[in-house]
Amino acid sequence: VPVHGPRRAVLCRRQVSVLRERQRVRTEEAKVTFEPTGRTVYVLPGTKIIEAAGRAGIILQSPCGGQGTCGKCRVRVMSGAAHADAPAGPHALNDDLRAKGHRLACQTAINGPMVIEIPEESLFEHRQQVLVSDSGARTELNPTVRKVHFSLVPPSHDDDRSDLTRLREAIGPAINVPLDLIQALPGFLRRNDWKGTAVLADGTAIALEPGDTTPQAYGVAFDLGTTTVVGTLFDLHRGVELGVDARLNAQIAHGDDVISRILKVRESPAKLLELQQAAVGTLNAIVASLRASTGVPADRIYAVSVAGNSTMQELLCGCDPSALGEIPFVQAFDDPLVLRADALGLDVLPDAEVFVFPQIGGFVGGDTVAGMVAAQLDRWDVPVLLIDIGTNGEIVVAHNGKMLASSTAAGPAFEGARIRQGMRATAGAIDKVLIAEDVSCNTIGNRPARGLCGTALIDAAAELLRVGAMDETGRILAADEAPASLPRAVRDRLVPIGHETNFLLVPAADTSIREDIYLWQRDARELQLAAGALRAGTCLLLRRAGLRPEDLGAVLLAGAFGNFIRRSSAQRVGLLPRVPCSSVRFIGNAASMGAKLAMLSKDQRAYAMDLKRRTEHVDLSLDPEFQAEFAAAMVFPTADEVPCAS
């Protein structure tokens, strides 16, 4: 007691002071309860509601990255003190809504205890429509990981060669054996009767395992999207797919698009670590789920491949992507990275090899290269155009072994951002629109409509153009300007509001939000911007390649959005070149397929590197012709026009 007494007393004083400090902080913190879930968190005054919700595990929509300009993060303060900045702009809340307690969560700081209601439409829903199927490309099984079962002759008076020399004789003299394995080797060999299995990755031994474990070799291929991450577990011994899991990228709490996340890091460099951990956490959640469903142990996963856009790959690797946020949009790396899993914190064998795809330039990143690998883009005998419409739109033109790649800011409108009643492709989103005697709208999950997603935006505009209720400048015509042939029920949906006409898609009584859902005139303008950028970019790349749109033998549509689009509608609004419909092919989740191919074959990795080396990056922001082309592409093509300005 005399020895330990004073020491314990010191510890107790420290503990007391820690407790007091915690108590002090806790008394300063405000209790915030979120309804209808009842989740509660304690936050310091000044914390924005959107952050507090994130801490409670409630992810709100934030397509504008918390700039207060999209209006999608709306919540209702049921009780308590809040300080709100009131941003101006089209999505600012009107006085009536503000009087009822509605606030923008990204603009409202917590001042004291609060109870906040989260409307369903403000949630970033988890049941997003995700494409995990692929077109079925095949490759020879030739992974960088291989296993060698060995049985060594033990040392004797006549043979006193070192343990390492004996091992090298079995696994190959050129194999690099790192120090930690050399340290473990003597004990391993003597404990296991000089037998075991060596795991080799790209010429380096990464593990020694007792017994013959050669059939047990696994890898995970990731398509690391801005919104969704898809992981596929493979048996590398047999080349068989064991399972697929897809989840939201946890970075979504920091903004919906890459620009929001780049801005977060630029504003506060400490955010880089948070964003990296969010990405790693998502990959680990997928690995855990795949392991749970297959029984594959973590230390038998030896290889990981990752294909993502430039920002996602850089954030995953902990590289500051700030230079991507300003002209001339410079990437942190372009050659492929081969890393150790423990350097990233992945829950697989610590020495597992992580292959991160090469990048082409600017916003044309590893996912585009992976898509090119999957499509074997340089091996077509006709001119081919690859379009991947995700949050960004990437375009690659390939002809006679020459490839040109570019990216455009196409995605926000197609993902529902900047669309007044836009939403992602989740339950309740209108995803198809047809006009005949009246309007028919299909919703995802057959749920009552609560907004429209990108495919519906394209459909609605294309249909209005087709029936003559929208002109080529994108103006929705007033009822008395529309052609006489327009059915009465459709004409009645041309509703004047203010100085503009908007098109009623679903009346309030048939929606879950009890509001009319329109294609607003302003939405048509956003579509013109997005489709125009993609169309102008395509025209420029084709011209640089010495091609005209009608020369294209194939148009390959990649990505989840591309696979749900109606080809005829996309052509009508100028999003796709007017080639015969049979030449437009959906190639599935090409980035995911490319990641799998790189996992299964080192030849495919070399192919990825070769495609990257041979592809010229065209930065449209620096191209003097782009603005003129873009202005021309803002006008929708006429019904019979080839949709390129030249």
Q: What is the closest distance, in whole angstroms, from the C-beta atom of residue 45 to ligand FES in the complex?
A: 20
Residues 105-124 that bind ligand FES (CB under 6 A): 106
Tokens read off for 397: 């033109």
| Identity of residue 375 | A
Q: Name which of 103 and 578 has its Cβ closer to ligand FES.
A: 103
Q: What is the closest distance, in whole angstroms, from the C-beta atom of residue 71 to ligand FES in the complex?
A: 5
Q: Name which of 264 and 605 has its Cβ closer to ligand FES.
A: 264
What is the per-residue DSSP string for 467-491?
Answer: HTSB-TTSPBPPTTTS-TTS-HHHH
Query: Contact region for ligand FES (CB under 6 A) — 5-13, 68-76, 485-493, 522-530?
Result: 68-76
Query: Contact region for ligand FES (CB under 6 A) — 12-20, 63-71, 139-147, 480-488?
Result: 63-71
Q: ω before 173 within 30° of 0 (cis)?
A: no
Q: What is the closest distance, in whole angstroms, from the C-beta atom of residue 50 to ligand FES in the complex?
A: 7
Q: Name which of 43 and 303 has its Cβ closer to ligand FES.
A: 43
Q: What is the closest distance, in whole angstroms, from the C-beta atom of residue 189 to ligand FES in the complex?
A: 59
Q: What are phi and psi of 191, to 5 degrees?
A: -70, -30
Longest dimension (CA), the chain: 105
Query: Counting contacts by CB under 6 A, is residue 70 touching ligand FES?
Result: yes
Q: Name which of 265 and 645 has its Cβ closer to ligand FES.
A: 265
Q: Name which of 64 and 324 has its Cβ closer to ligand FES.
A: 64
Q: What is the closest distance, in whole angstroms, from the C-beta atom of residue 61 to ligand FES in the complex?
A: 7
Query: Counting contacts by CB under 6 A, is residue 587 touching ligand FES?
Result: no
Question: 548, 556, 570, 547: which is closest to 642 by C-alpha?
Answer: 548
Strand 30-35 to 39-43 pairing: antiparallel
Q: What is the closest distance, in whole angstroms, from the C-beta atom of residue 222 to ligand FES in the complex?
A: 27
- Please count the residues of this chain forming the interface with ligand FES, following the rule CB under 6 A: 11
Residues 85-104 that bind ligand FES (CB under 6 A): 104
Please give the Cα distance from 517 to 439 (Å, whole number).
13
Type and span of the H or E element at 411: helix 411-414
**Beta strands across the sheet bearing 240-248:** 240-248, 228-235, 218-224, 301-308, 353-356, 337-340
Q: What is the closest distance, in whole angstroms, from the C-beta atom of residue 29 to ligand FES in the complex?
A: 23
Query: Counting contacts by CB under 6 A, is residue 451 touching ligand FES?
Result: no
Query: Counting contacts by CB under 6 A, is residue 72 touching ligand FES?
Result: yes
Q: Name which of 91 and 566 has its Cβ closer to ligand FES.
A: 91
Going from the C-alpha of 468 to that of each of 475, 487, 643, the distances in angstroms are 11, 11, 18
Q: What is the closest distance, in whole angstroms, from the C-beta atom of residue 410 to ligand FES in the complex?
A: 20
Residue 310's DSSP bridge partners are none
Sole binder of ligand FES in the list 62, 122, 139, 511 (CB under 6 A)? 62
Q: How far is CA 20 from the centre of its chain?
A: 44
Tokens read off for 122: 């403000």
Please give the Cα distance from 235 to 221 (Å, whole number).
11
Expressed in angstroms, the distance from the first to the final Cα of the chain is 92
Residue 432's DSSP bridge partners are 442
Sole binder of ligand FES in the list 54, 68, 358, 454 (CB under 6 A)? 68
Q: Name which of 104 and 590 has its Cβ closer to ligand FES.
A: 104
Q: What is the closest distance, in whole angstroms, from the C-beta atom of residue 263 to ligand FES in the complex?
A: 12
What is the per-residue DSSP string for 552-617?
Answer: -SEEEEEHHHHHHS-HHHHHHTTSS----GGGEEE-BSHHHHHHHHHHHBHHHHHHHHHHHHHEEE
**DSSP state letter for 92:** P
What is the per-residue DSSP string for 444-467?
Answer: GGGPPB-EE-HHHHHHHHHHHHHH
Torsion of CA 159, 163, 168, 169, to 10 degrees: 20
Query: Counting contacts by CB under 6 A, is residue 64 touching ligand FES?
Result: yes
Query: Counting contacts by CB under 6 A, is residue 423 touching ligand FES?
Result: no
Sole binder of ligand FES in the list 52, 56, 58, 73 (CB under 6 A)? 73
Q: Name which of 70 and 389 has its Cβ closer to ligand FES.
A: 70
Query: Contact region for ligand FES (CB under 6 A) — 67-75, 145-153, 220-228, 375-383?
Result: 67-75
Query: Counting contacts by CB under 6 A, is residue 264 touching ligand FES?
Result: no
Query: Contact region for ligand FES (CB under 6 A) — 2-10, 65-73, 317-325, 617-625?
Result: 65-73
| Identity of residue 285 | A
Residue 218's DSSP bridge partners are 235, 301
Q: Cβ of 93: how many Cβ atoms within 10 Å?
A: 18
Q: 140 near 601, Cβ under 8 Å? A: yes
**DSSP state letter for 508:** G
Mask: binding to ligand FES, 7-46, rule CB under 6 A, as x and -? ----------------------------------------
Query: Contact region for ligand FES (CB under 6 A) — 66-74, 148-156, 194-202, 348-356?
Result: 66-74
Query: Contact region for ligand FES (CB under 6 A) — 69-77, 491-499, 524-532, 601-609?
Result: 69-77
Query: Contact region for ligand FES (CB under 6 A) — 61-69, 149-157, 345-353, 479-487?
Result: 61-69
Positions in the binding site for ligand FES (CB under 6 A): 62, 64, 66, 68-73, 104, 106
